[in-house]
Amino acid sequence: MEEHLTVGRVAELAGVSVRTLHHYDEISLVQPSARTAAGYRAYSVGDVERLREVLAYRRLGFGLREIADLVDDPTTDAVAHLHRLRGLLQEQRDRAAAMVTAIDRELEARAMGIRTTPEEQLKVFGAQLYEVIGSDYPTTRHTEPRIAAQVWAALGDAQTVLNVGAGTGSYEPTDREVTAVEPSAVMRAQRPAGAAPCVAANAERLPFADQSFDAAMAFSTIHHWHDPIAGLREMQRVARRVVVFTHDSSDTGWLNRFWLSRDYLPEVGGLIVGRPSVEELAGAIGARIEPVLIPWDCADGFFEAYWRRPEAYLEEHVRRAVSVWTRVGPQAEQRAVSRLRDDLSSGRWAERNRELVALDAAELGLRLLVA
Ligand SMILES: C[S@@+](CC[C@H](N)C(=O)[O-])C[C@H]1O[C@@H](n2cnc3c(N)ncnc32)[C@H](O)[C@@H]1O
């Protein structure tokens, strides 16, 4: 048993309870490969290595099921796990430092009697929003094939494609060579095995040389960028063609066309104040603007996706996968949901939105910019 450690010794070294190790064994997460003569669990060097990865991912906040997928991924060896863990820990350290600074600023503001809005509080954390809500994303956010077809057609004959703000990679074409960029470690960690390689970076500073790609695409992400125009120009610097899926945030566009923001969640208007218009965005890169219709049974659960299936918005898991609901704050969310529930049961929603039932696809201000 020389090269094996007993369960008690492993627990002592790792600072976890023997019960935890027994549990990991029972759920097949870390199974000791041997037994002592007396029948106790005995851990080999390989078992300890796996346990170390499990405990590290656990400390980073991953759930046991997610960890099982990560450590069982045959394409990731021990060195790759160490690199990934190092990156995740570094990000966590930077995030903690940023949060301390943000909290200090808020304490100063409060001491002066200034209250920050939920939007301002989240803005301070920037892309960190996806560290908070990212783990709920894959539940309802999948590729919508009809919209994907429009995006892929706009990519033309591009063979090398950069996907900026790639998230879990929903719209990455499988027949081209894709490189992804995604700042959130939570989102990167949820990319499926075999997904395109993903670089941790922001759109505003892409770590690539000029004209390195045939095309750069960005899907449902530029509204999160600190500086969308800088990000679009970066895309144009590194690629010969740019394709962006976004929305027209003007009064006549998205906000008032969609019954949810118009009748139940006007706070959405506050989220877009000061943001460049779709014309300004397109103008910055000389793009043409194409409308994108949303099919009634849209497979990607973004904010507008359930325009003909209003009951979906009553579901917590549907709302958690859409950043708008977190950004407006819990009070607005609860009020909107409870009014919608009342209107659905009284028939008021159906009466007001009678014309929607006959539509197979809706024009709600979603746009494709192609340059
Ligand atoms: C709504 S998700 C979209 C993800 C993916 N494109 C999709 O369609 O499934 C928005 C993504 O933008 C990322 N993001 C936020 N700020 C960013 C920035 N400055 N540069 C690049 N990506 C950013 C977030 O981390 C998040 O993964």
Q: How far is the CA of 131 from the centre of ligand 1 (A)?
A: 11
Query: What's the DSSP call for residue 154?
Result: H
CB 181 within 8 A of CB 166: yes
Tens of pLDDT, residue by residue over 313-325, are 999 999 989 988 8
Report field, pTM of the whole predicted structure over 0.85: no
**Domain-by-domain residue ranges, the chain?**
5-59, 136-370
Alpha-carbon separation of residue 74 from 70, 77, 161, 175 (angstroms)? 9, 7, 26, 23
CATH class of 5-59: mainly alpha
Domain 136-370 sits in CATH at 3.40.50.150
Q: The tokens of 55 are what? A: 């405990």
In which band, very low, low, confident or very high, does the pLDDT at 127 lie, cut at 50, 70 and 90?
Answer: very low
Phi, psi of 322, deg, nearest 5: -125, 120
Tens of pLDDT, residue by residue over 128-186, are 677 666 777 888 999 999 999 999 999 999 999 999 999 999 999 999 999 999 998 88
CB 134 within 8 A of CB 184: yes
How confident is the model at residue 93, as a pLDDT? 64
Q: How far is the CA of 166 from the centre of ligand 1 (A)?
A: 6
CA gap 243, 288 in Å, rounded: 10
Tens of pLDDT, residue by residue over 52-76, are 999 999 988 888 998 999 899 888 7
Alpha-carbon separation of residue 222 from 33, 54, 113, 172 (angstroms)? 48, 34, 33, 16
Atom of ligand 1 nearest to the CA of 166: 6
CB 31 within 8 A of CB 25: yes
**Mean pLDDT over residues 7-30, rounded?**
95
Q: How far is the CA of 75 from the centre of ligand 1 (A)?
A: 25
Of 133, 217, 221, 234, the one to substitute when testing ligand 1's pocket (max ligand atoms within 8 A of C-beta) is: 221
Q: Is 219 in the pocket of ligand 1 (CB under 6 A)?
A: yes
Amino acid, single-letter form, for residue 199:
V
Amino acid, single-letter form, for residue 271:
L
Phi, psi of 216, deg, nearest 5: -125, 135
Q: How far is the CA of 165 from the centre of ligand 1 (A)?
A: 4
Q: Which strand (E) or helix (H) includes residue 35?
A: strand 34-35
Q: Is 131 in the pocket of ligand 1 (CB under 6 A)?
A: no
Calculate helix-pair angle for 45-59, 7-14, nearest 10 degrees. Answer: 40
DSSP annotation string for 54-105 = HHHHHHTT--HHHHHHHHH-TT--HHHHHHHHHHHHHHHHHHHHHHHHHHHH
Atom of ligand 1 nearest to the CA of 202: 20
**Mean pLDDT over residues 71-91, rounded?**
79
Q: What percent of the chain has pLDDT over 70?
A: 91
